[in-house]
């Protein structure tokens, strides 16, 4: 059976996970790779017991995600099968009811704020990476993204940062660094080249092993 490589990229909101993952994808330069976003697995209805003190949903808490579906989909991709990934709309804070087909493929880059949080998922990962970026940079990036791409007001982004983003980062996100194989700072160009080179090396080794088994 062909080995499927699963690479986890974690980090706080605004740390540049998606940008870094796309750089790695470009470096791999293979049609047999895909990028899976953890944001696609937000629950439609978040548990009320994780609401903020002001009664607003807490999107930065581990319980905001559909872990059962996420684990199932990662297992399917790891087994060389395809999945129907839900499409999440950040302007409405809910799933659209539509799906996107991913896989099968040889490499899965899986990025999100809690990529390294769950032990079962960590055990599936072949490479674990954490992006550690200063809080002021992460906040500025998040501010620009949420206002420009997600239709949020400046006030709501600032309020959410202090209500949930900052305290959840300190409590749940930053501790994930201990599980990473390596940590990346703000400058990601060199790190993405190194990681993509490592992935290509793993692919070449697996291809050689497949040929040997066939003989």
Element (H, E) at 36: strand 33-37
* Locus of tokens 């804070």: 93
By three-state DSSP, how is residue 75 classified?
helix
Domain of residue 142, CATH code: 3.40.50.300
Q: Indicate whether 70 belongs to any domain.
A: yes
Would you say residue 21 lies in a domain?
Answer: yes
pLDDT of res. 91: 87
Residues in the chain with pLDDT values less than 70? 1, 208-215
Q: In the prediction, which pLDDT does 157 show?
A: 80
Chain-centroid distance of CA 25 in Å reads: 14
What is residue 6's predicted lDDT score, i.e. its pLDDT?
Answer: 97
- Structural tokens at position 27: 């470096």
Residue ranges making up the domain that contains 135: 5-202
Asked whether residue 127 is assigned to any structural domain, the reply reads yes
What pLDDT does residue 208 have?
60
- pTM over cut 0.75: yes
**Is residue 83, in this structure, part of any structural domain at all?**
yes
Q: How far is CA 56 from the centre of its chain?
A: 24
User: What does the pLDDT read at residue 23?
Assistant: 96
Distance CA 193, CA 26 (A): 9
Asked whether residue 112 is domain-assigned, the answer is: yes
What is the SS3 assignment for 147? Answer: helix
- 15-71 pLDDT, tens digit each: 999 999 999 999 999 889 999 999 999 999 999 999 988 888 999 999 999 999 999
Domain-located, residue 169: yes
The answer to whether residue 123 is domain-embedded is yes
- Domain total in the chain: 1
C-alpha of 2 from chain center? 24
């Amino acid at each position: 059976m062909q080995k499927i490589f699963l690479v986890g990229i974690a980090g706080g909101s605004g740390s540049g996970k998606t940008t870094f993952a796309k750089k790695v994808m470009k470096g791999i330069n293979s049609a047999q790779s895909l990028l899976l976003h953890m944001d696609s697995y937000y629950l439609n209805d978040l548990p009320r017991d994780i609401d903020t003190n002001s009664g607003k949903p807490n999107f930065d808490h581990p319980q905001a995600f559909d872990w059962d579906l996420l684990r199932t989909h990662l297992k399917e991709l790891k087994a060389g099968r395809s999945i129907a990934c839900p499409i999440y709309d950040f302007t409405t804070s809910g799933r659209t009811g539509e799906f996107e087909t991913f896989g099968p493929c040889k490499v899965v880059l899986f990025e999100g704020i809690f990529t390294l949080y769950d032990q079962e998922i960590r055990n599936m990962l072949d490479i674990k990476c954490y992006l550690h970026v200063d809080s002021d940079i992460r906040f500025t990036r998040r501010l620009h993204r949420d206002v420009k791409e997600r239709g949020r007001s400046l006030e709501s982004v600032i309020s959410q940062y202090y209500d949930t983003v900052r305290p959840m980062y300190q409590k749940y996100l930053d501790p994930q660094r201990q599980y990473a194989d390596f940590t990346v700072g703000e400058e990601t160009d060199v790190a993405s080249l190194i990681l993509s080179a490592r992935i290509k090396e793993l692919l070449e080794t697996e291809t050689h092993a497949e040929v040997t088994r066939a003989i």
